[in-house]
Structure 1
Amino acid sequence: MFGTSGIRGAVGGSITASLAVDLGRAVASEGYEHVVVGRDSRESGRVLVDALSAGARECGADVTALGLASTPTVARAIEAYDADVGVSVTASHNPETDNGFKLWNPSGQAFGASQRDAIEARLADDEYELTGWDGHGSKMTRHDAVDRHAAALESAVDIVDSLDIIVDVGNGAGQVTATALTALGCHVETLNAQPDGSFPARPSEPTAETCARLSEVVAATDADLGIAHDGDADRMMAVSEDGEFLSGDALLALFARHAIDDDHRKIAAPLNTSLAVDDYIDPVGGTVERTKVGDVYVAEALSQPGFAFGGEPSGAWIWPGQTRCPDGPLAACTLAALVSEAASLSSLLADFEAYPIRRESIETDEKEATMERVEQRVLASYDDVETIDGVRVAFDDGWFLVRASGTQPLVRVTAEARDADRADELLDAAQSLLD
């Protein structure tokens, strides 16, 4: 039921008010006595928040409802309100037809495997600790969570010179970014700032294609920077002053290089992160430790000592000293602070060199058997092999990854090298393993 980022699915299909009630019951039955809950801009979230709150209260938990709030706002509110757990009702960057639930610990870290298993077992067995008539929990509404989040961001960064920034909220819950940047002295204009869970302006996921309008506006004005969020603002992507939509690898490299210090030299990133990130942080003594794909696994790595930062090229950025929840608004403010100290965003990345990367997908209804066969062949043929999530083979000048899709009948093949011909060669070698 749980994927790498909570529970998601089609509203009226796998995501129902009945599931929300049971999830609330399961959370409270696991001993979480105070639950913070917020939602993104999807209209279905109103019903799901009410249902989840009812289930939690029925099993004795108190509920603090935040209303419309970004996922990192919810995660930060757990500790702020002395709660035990947070639930964000969101399908993040998924289309408007979907919704779902993300569960968070007070540290801001998503529920780990054992926590997810315990919740899933209760849902499967209908095993809940229902209270009597006099044992139901209370419910209160707080209206200051977004302001608290904005204040925390204002304290976390220092913007030297005022910037002109365009923030594309994407009709989602990320308005806190504009609030915080304004408080930090920037001049902020917004695009698509009206919350609307049908996402009429653009699809929720911020990509170069979906954020074409943002790129156009930034390039046509004197803006120093463009920011884009997904529906719940756990993701942040950016546009440079000349209208270029920056790759996730470039942003990861930039954030990592500026987070590294003498006591924190390690960066956590998933297996499909570009070799260019390693090369970019090597001169400052940084190293990349790769994780399974999914920000939950990046966050788990960041709970260990010696890590400065972690992220996924899809737009999830985590500074463990602040919170172990991907915080798109924090990323936006941090990026603005870096730009304010430099000539421009493009100048900050002038020495970042992107490498040729190749991707293919192979359809199969036998993903598990295919991956077992690939792993056996790789282990018999190569030395530097990682099998924590698919099969990744590293070389001095590149790498390839063969990994089963978590949601589709596909096996994905990715290859990268510093040279285009070598990238093609590695892709061919990886694809031959599936023959």
Structure 2
Amino acid sequence: MFGTSGVRGPVGEDVTADLALDVGRALATDGAETVVVGRDARDSGRMLVRALLAGLTECGADAIDVGVEATPTVARAVAREGADAGVVVTASHNPAPDNGIKLWTASGRAFGEERNDRIAEIVKTAAFEFAGHDGIGTVETRDAVAGGDARRAHERALRETVPLPDDLSVVVDLGNGVGRVTADALHATGCDVETLNAQRDGRFPGRPSEPTAGNCETACAVVEATDADLGVVHDGDADRMMAIDERGRFLSGDALLALFARREAEPGDSVAVPVDTSLLVADALAEIGAEVTYTPVGDAYVAAEAAKPGVAFGGEPSGAWIWPERTPCPDGPLAACVLTALVGAEGSLAALVDDLPDYPIRRDSVRTDAKSAVADRVGAIAADEYDDVSTLDGVRVETDAGWFLVRASGTEPLVRITAEARDEDDADALFETARDLVERADDEI
């Protein structure tokens, strides 16, 4: 029921009012007495939130509805309100026909597998504990006019914890989503802010919600044409942040991860990253005596690892960034402010990126109806043929030249192959080796 980022899928198929109702019932049945609820800008969220609130209150929980806000804004509100849990109705960067439900702990961290499984089991067995007529929960609606309590608190926290400059020009592409808090925080400190796609619209008419290079060409052009110091772009719920340098170049997630990691880590620290992260990050940290610690792909896994002692930062190249001492959730507005502060201190984002090495990486997929079995078989073969093999999430093989990763897709009948090295020939060789392993395993299966 729950993937690495909650429940997601097409509305009316995978995601329905019945599902939202049952998740609300299950949360209350599982012991949540007060729950913070929010949603992104998708119209289907209205219906889903109503159903969710009905389920929560039907089983005796009180709800605090903070309205249409960024996912990190809602997650931060859980701890601030002293609530037991939080729910965001969002499909994040997925296309407009989708929606979803993501659950948050009392500290504002995404539910882990164990707690998600517990909620899923209550839903599956319909083991709901309904309240009597005198135990029905209440719904308190926070004033969302002119910013809302949750958004104002988030903006204030950004300005109080990040030393923002007052003389930079920043383009902020909100992607028709709910990340306005970024523009508000930067503007309040004196930055010259130009917004793109700032009108909230869950159909995402300005550009597709996912902040990729192909989807953000207009923002890149605006940054270059206006001589802005940098650009930041969000997805639909603003848990992700990607960036554009002053030359109008859309930066890779690995480059941003290396910049953030090197900024936050000290000698002896580690940084939590998923298994598909570039060598670039490990090499950048090695220069300062720090190291990476790998997690399965998914921001919930990165957040859980980042909460451990000695882990200074966590991030995913897809755009999720976690500062564990500030907030345990991926916070796109916080990332935007930290990056702006970094540019203010260093002077040029392009120069910072140009100082990083550029390693060749190869990616492709093999279609198969036995993806999990094939990936498992690759793991068995690799264990016999290589010394350094990790099966934390898929099969990652480290060699002196680089690494390759074989993973079963979570959503399609595909086995995904990634290979990276420090030079082109080694990257090609590692990729062909990985492809041969997948084809051998597929033949055997």
Q: TM-score range by the shorter chain?
A: over 0.9
Q: TM-score, structure 2 length as denominator?
A: 0.96
Equivalent of residue 272 in structure 1, options 261, 273, 276: 276
Partner SS, residue 396 of structure 1: coil
- The CA distance in 2 between the partners of 1:113 and 1:322, in whole Å, is 23
Mapped pair 1:171 → 2:176: yes
Q: TM-score, normalised by structure 1?
A: 0.98
Q: Distance in 1 between matches of 2:187 and 2:266?
A: 29
- Return the alpha-carbon distance in structure 1 between the equivalents of residues 165 and 25 of structure 2: 48
Query: Is the 1:400–1:414 Cα contact (8 Å) retained in structure 2?
Result: yes
Q: Is the 8 A contact 2:165 2:190 kept in 1?
A: no
Mapped partners of 1:151, 1:160: distance in 2: 15
Corresponding residue for residue 159 of structure 2: 154
Contact preservation (8 Å) 1:161, 1:341 = no
Gaps of 5+ in 1: none
Alpha-carbon displacement from aligned partner over 1:218-255 (angstroms, at most 9, x marks no partner): 00012111010000000000000110000000000000
**1:226 maps to which residue?**
231
1:127-181: CA deviations, max 9, x gaps?
A: 1010111110111111310010000011110024521101000001101110111
Deviation of residue 187 (structure 1)?
A: 1.2
Task: Tell me the secondary structure at the aligned position of residue 201 of structure 1.
Answer: coil
Residue identity in the other structure for 1:118: R
> What's the CA shift for 1:184?
2.3
Which residue is equivalent to 2:28? 28
Mapping for residues 38-117 of structure 1, pairs under 5 Å: 38-117=38-117
Cα pair distance change 1:193/1:160, threshold 3 Å:
closer
Q: CA deviation at 1:362?
A: 0.3
**Percent sequence identity over matched residues?**
59
Give the aligned partner of residue 371 of structure 1: 375
Q: Which residue of the other structure, out of 186, 199, 210, is the alignment partner of 1:194?
A: 199
Secondary structure at the aligned position of 2:346 is classed as coil
Query: Residue 145 of structure 2 aligns with which residue?
Result: none
| 1:302 matched residue in structure 2 | 306
Q: Partner letter of residue 370 of structure 1?
A: V
Alignment-derived partner of residue 413 in structure 2 = 409
Secondary structure at 2:321's aligned position in 1? strand
- Counterpart residue identity of residue 138, structure 1: T
CA distance in 1: counterparts of 2:433 and 2:128, whole angstroms = 51
Shift in Å at residue 261 of structure 1? 2.6
Match among 400, 407, 415 for residue 404 of structure 2: 400
For the 8 Å contact 1:158–1:184, the answer to whether it is kept is: no
Residues of 2 paired with 1:219 and 1:298: CA distance? 33
* 1:267/1:289 contact within 8 Å kept: yes
Distance 1:84 1:293 in 2: 26
> How many pairs were matched up?
434
Do the aligned partners of 2:165 and 2:340 also contact (CA within 8 Å) in 1?
A: no
Shift of 1:371: 1.4
Once the two structures are TM-superposed, the CA of residue 279 in structure 1 deviates from its matched residue by 1.1
8 Å CA contact 1:76, 1:106 repeated in 2: no
Maintained 8 Å contact 1:360/1:414: yes
Any unmatched runs of 5+ in structure 2? 143-147, 441-445
Q: Residue 37 of structure 1 corresponds to which residue in structure 2?
A: 37
Q: Cα deviation per residue 1:355-382 (whole Å; 9 max; x = unaligned)?
A: 0000110000011221121111100000
